Structure 1
Amino acid sequence: MSGEISDIHTNLALPRTSATLTLRIIKSFEYRTERNLVLHNVNLETTTVARLKDLARQAVVTQPGWKPYRNVVLDTMKLYTKAHGAKMDNLIINLNHEDWILGDDTKTLADYGFENETEVSFFNGELYEAFKANPQVS
């Protein structure tokens, strides 16, 4: 039905077995250096946090344009926002909601409440802790 506005929100437009996710790969919190990696057809019911980390690391190593990110130790993921959710005040990462850190690598993305168009940040945990202690940007 072309020309009609759909009543389906984008987070419900695709099944949980074929979601699109945006990973915000963060190189520097201080300089707000990040790049988005969009992953399509992710099965939220079977993909674990560990597998998502592996997919992101593999993309950084193999895809063009990621060379400046290859020396960053990426070890921590944190939910940034879900589709139609409020964006954070901090443009690089949300500093509140420590419970949004994906701390259990064995849990599936569905266990963490992921849905289509969820955004998650992927970064170095030590750099994050240092930035939280002194959230200054240059």
Structure 2
Amino acid sequence: MSDYDLPTNLARPKTSAVLTLRIIKSFEFRTEKNLVLKDVNLEKVTVGELKEMARQAIQTQPGWKPYRTVHYDTLKLYTKAHGAKTSNLIINLDHDDWILDDDSKTLAECGFENETEVSFFNRELYEQFKAHPETRWEAEKC
């Protein structure tokens, strides 16, 4: 099997994965921006370290200024490569067991593969949205 025949989640080793973090500023306005991290070692990087990598990028990289006002504290698996995606465009509201609560676990221990997508957000805002999952921009269109 050549490299071209491999599924994308197996195309790179666990020591050099590409991850997409969906940085969610607002659930109700569906404000999110993707942060792509390359060459992430899934066997060594922990959940806590991934959070810190994302926070650092938000604070230092250009184009993230509007996102700097939110306290990001929670990661939740969104999808793996070739996996089913949720019908909710901002976050999957089911599967709270996909929330990564243990900052000491490695990403490999959490089941991460190359091209895993994970949401990064404020847990309090998530719980509020989950209780009342209404988007503002849709309500204003009526």
Q: If the length of structure 2 is used for normalisation, what is the TM-score?
A: 0.93
SS at match of 1:24: strand
Give the Å deviation of 1:18: 0.2
Structure 2's unaligned 5+ residue stretches are: 137-142
Q: Partner of 1:21 in structure 2? A: 19
User: Per-residue displacement from partner, 1:22-59 (whole Å, max 9, x unpaired)?
Assistant: 00000000000000000000000000000000000000
- Report the Cα distance in structure 2 between the residues aligned to 1:61 and 1:132, rounded to whole angstroms: 27
Asked if the contact 2:3–2:11 (Cα under 8 Å) also holds between the matched residues in 1, the reply is: no
1:85 lines up with 2:50 in the alignment: no
Task: Report the residue type matching 1:18 in the other structure.
Answer: S
Q: Partner of 2:127 in structure 1? A: 129
Q: Percent identity?
A: 72
Aligned residue runs from structure 1 range 95-106, under 5 A = 95-106=93-104
Match of 1:33 among 18, 31, 34: 31
Task: Report the residue type matching 2:43 in the other structure.
Answer: E
Give the Å deviation of 1:104: 0.2
- Report the Cα distance in structure 2 between the residues aligned to 1:5 and 1:44, rounded to whole angstroms: 20
Task: Report the residue type matching 2:107 in the other structure.
Answer: L
User: Per-residue displacement from partner, 1:81-133 (whole Å, max 9, x unpaired)?
Assistant: 00001111100000001110000000000000000000000000000000000
Give the Å deviation of 1:7: 1.7
Structure 1's unaligned 5+ residue stretches are: none
Aligned residue pairs: how many?
A: 135
Q: Partner of 1:59 in structure 2? A: 57
Give the Å deviation of 1:5: 9.0
Match of 1:110 among 97, 108, 111: 108
Give the Å deviation of 1:6: 2.4
> CA-atom RMSD, angstroms?
1.1
Runs of 4 or more above 3 Å deviation: none
- Report the Cα distance in structure 1 between the residues aligned to 2:12 and 2:4, rounded to whole angstroms: 13
